[in-house]
Amino acid sequence: MTAVQVTISSFIDESFPGWVECWLEDVHGRRWKFNEKAPVVSAKDLWTDTEYPQPGLIACTVLRRAANASRRYVATIDTGSPWGIESVEGCTVFEVFAEQLEDDVAEV
């Protein structure tokens, strides 16, 4: 599985299994906010008393990889596949730098 790196900024809800706020920065410098279940984005035992920010991962499907004008590799990803994760704005397709991706992730 492929996953994109995110920053887990805070714990937002104690409802089972615990919810966190995450941020993804795209190649255009835009920050996208996600509210997701803690175990979906991190293998760590995150809770209200955890120190934030923390690194996290969101599973995604790579739609395309290509070099941009600066010869830096950019990937177009879809976080809607495989687990239906979307930003709070309802977006699932993003352009990120290839180095933000982790390939062959067994489980987040």
- pLDDT tens, 38-77? 999 999 999 999 999 999 999 999 999 998 877 889 999 9
Q: Residues 70, 18: contact at Cβ < 8 Å?
A: no
Q: Which residues contact 25 (CB under 8 A, 6 or more apart)?
A: 31, 32, 96
Q: What is the overall mean pLDDT for the chain?
A: 95
Hey, what amino acid is at 106? A
The predicted pLDDT at position 9 comes to 98
pLDDT in tens, 18-39: 999 999 999 999 999 999 999 9
The predicted pLDDT at position 108 comes to 56
Confidence band of 85 (pLDDT split at 50, 70, 90) = very high
Q: Does the pLDDT of residue 16 top 60, yes or no?
A: yes
**Domains of the chain: which residue ranges?**
2-102
